[in-house]
Every structure is written in structure tokens, then in C-alpha cells.
Amino acid sequence: MRYSGLVDRIAGEGCAAWDLHRAARAAQAAGRDILLLTVGDPDLPAPVLARDAAVHALHTGNARYAETAGHPALRQAIAALHRCRTGLQDTQPENVVVLAGAQNALFTASLCLLGPGDEVLVPEPTYATYPATFGVTGATVVSTGPAPRASSLRVDPEALARAVTPRTRAIAFANPGNPGGAVLTRAELEAIADIARQHDLWVVADEVYADLVYEGEHLSIAALPGMAGRTITIGSLSKSHAMAGWRVGWAVGPAGFTEHAERLA
């Protein structure tokens, strides 16, 4: 029997990385003392408020189909959070779509923005799922090296600029970085924004670790001049609230994007 070639496009090194994860899980189950660094799964419990609200929802029958783009009150809360983080006071629930975790939000963004023949620039080091998540669309994932500094874990805007071609459609990165943890400075973000504006590119900003910044300050690239209309900001409760298994993520972007994302959802 034949299968679609869709899944074949998400094979490769990114998928193979999960073999290590499964081996580590098996070693844990066998009683070995394993420090698991393959996924960002906090070892804290979810907040009592969230757990109590979930139990209350179950007991009161509030577990039916939600609106496709997400519960209105949740979209309103996410919009308020985005306004607080970015200063973009025009952000409304219509700019938000709620999805089954940040991974699903990244997948949705890739399907809404990219297609066969396109290129997306992804700085290294990057999270293992990115090549598959963006490559599934038929687009080519172009990896750009890290900045040539001692840390070697920061985005190199000069490498991004050199990698742009007429087929480039988007730049995708995590801030704070995953797995490197680097929090991008305003100057670094402004350099990336300059590239996006100059070449009319989308930016997919994975900000799931935005609440876990211990030195310096996190800045959303969407907050920079001219970037709100070309930036898709990805967020979730998995890291900030230790709710990875709850699968609550979202994407914030221009209304045209959320219309496409809702249709896809």
C-alpha cells in the first residue's frame, strides 16, 4: 500500500534526535539516574489555580467543543499578555489563535506562511523539531551558523543577511534560544528586523521561554517598528506554568494570519 510523502518530508536528523530521547526514557524506566535534557518539561506541578479550574470545568460539564480559534476569554487574556510584553496596544483577541501547544502553533504558522520552493532561515543552534516543522511544507530550511563569538550560541544577523535569496520567505528563531538559552539583545533583534523589512520577510518568533529570563530583559521582536504586521509570536503555558501535557499554545499575529490559521485549525 502507498502512503503520502508528507511524513517522509519530516524525516532526517531532527526526527532521529528523538531516538536519543526514547533511549533516555527507557534508561529512566530501568532505574538509571538520567538527567533528561531532550525536552523542556518542567518538574514542578502546574499551579493550583489551573488544576482547580480544570477540575471545576470537568465537574460542571465545561468540556465541550470550543470556538475554532480558542475560547474568547482565553484569547482576550493572551492579547492582554501580548500588549503588556510588547506595548502593542492594538493587539486584540482577533490577533490570537489558540492551538494544541506551541509545537502545533509552529506547525500551523509554517503551513500558513510557507510552500514548496520557499526558503526559511533558521539560525543554529536550533530546536530539533524545527527542520521537520518547516520542511513539511515543501520549503527548504536554510541553517545559518551561530555568531562567531565565544559563546557560539547567539544568532548571527550577518549570517542571516548573507543567506537571503529571492526565494527566502521567513526567518524563524527562538528567543530565549532553545537549546542555547541566549536572550537576544535589542541590537541583535533590530538587525534581524532590518533584514525582514528590507526583504519583506515573515518572522516566526518562538517565545515559549520568555518568562524564564534570569539576567537581562526579554524583548519581543514584534515590538520593534514595522514588525507587528510581519511577526508571528508563538507562546504557551508549557514552560511558564509547568503545563506541558495540557497542550495549550497560541500564535499572535496580524489579523490576516489568524484568519488563515483559524481556517487551518
Give tens-digit pLDDT for 183-203: 999 999 999 999 999 999 999
Which tens digit of pLDDT belongs to each residue from 150-187?
Answer: 566 889 999 999 999 999 999 999 999 988 889 999 99
> Would you give the distance in Å from CA 133 to the centre of its chain?
10
**Is residue 151 situated within a structural domain?**
yes
Q: What is the pTM of this model?
A: 0.92
Q: For residues 31 and 145, which has the higher predicted lDDT (pLDDT)? A: 31
**Is residue 9 situated within a structural domain?**
no
**Phi and psi (nearest 5°) for 157?**
-60, -30
- Cell matching residue 173: 528563531
Which tens digit of pLDDT belongs to each residue from 115-149?
Answer: 999 999 999 888 888 988 999 999 999 999 877 76
Inter-helix orientation angle 255-264/102-113, to 10°: 110
CATH at residue 142: 3.40.640.10
Region 1-8: mean pLDDT is 82
Domain that residue 102 falls in: 39-60+67-264
> What is the total count of domains within the chain?
1
Residue 235 CA: distances (Å) to CA of 55, 83, 158, 244: 24, 13, 27, 12
Averaged pLDDT of the chain: 92
Helix (H) or strand (E) holding 172: strand 168-174
Confidence band of 14 (pLDDT split at 50, 70, 90): low
Q: What is the pLDDT of residue 36?
A: 80
**Is residue 3 situated within a structural domain?**
no
Cell 490576516, residue?
256
**Is residue 19 situated within a structural domain?**
no
Instruction: Calculate the CA dihedral of residues 54, 58, 59, 64 and round it to 10 degrees.
Output: 130
